[in-house]
Amino acid sequence: KQEVTQIPAALSVPEGENLVLNCSFTDSAIYNLQWFRQDPGKGLTSLLLIQSSQREQTSGRLNASLDKSSGRSTLYIAASQPGDSATYLCAVYQGAQKLVFGQGTRLTINP
């Protein structure tokens, strides 16, 4: 059974810092991996999708990497801003369109 783990569960950093969020998964047979952002009281917003054949994806200040063999992904946020404060979740496509989610990392950027 696929398990997705995100460490740390919470992270607080001052504005302007670069930071890395971690995601690990137990079964490397995945189709792709997605990173989402969730704001309080809202649904999830897809940030980046990395296909299984890719190593990384970039969107603006965000860069996500994928190492299938080691079962790891990272989300790098450059020059963090208070508006980046949210919960970040990673999820892997196990197959048959079933996304398995991690528990998320709650990120706080302090002005």
Decide if residue 107 touches another protein (CB under 8 A): no
* Segment 21-24 long-range contacts (CB within 8 Å, at least 24 positions apart): 21/74, 21/75, 21/77, 21/88, 21/90, 21/105, 21/107, 22/72, 22/73, 22/74, 22/105, 23/72, 23/73, 23/74, 23/75, 23/90, 23/102, 24/71, 24/72, 24/73
Phi, psi of 25 (to 5 degrees): -135, 150
Least distance CB 27 / another protein (angstroms): 15
Amino acid at 18: N
- Give residues 3-42 in contact with another protein (rule: CB under 8 A): 31-32, 34, 36, 41-42
Pattern 73-102, another protein, x by CB under 8 A: ----------------x-x-x--xxxx-xx
User: Of 22, 49, 56, 106, which lies in the binding site for another protein, with binding defined by CB under 8 A?
Assistant: 49
The smaller minimum CB distance to another protein, of residues 18 and 103, is found at: 103
Amino acid at 64: A
Least distance CB 78 / another protein (angstroms): 21
Retrieve residue 21's tokens.
Answer: 């969020």
Decide if residue 62 touches another protein (CB under 8 A): no
Least distance CB 42 / another protein (angstroms): 6
List interacting residues with another protein (CB under 8 A).
Answer: 31-32, 34, 36, 41-46, 49, 51, 89, 91, 93, 96-99, 101-104
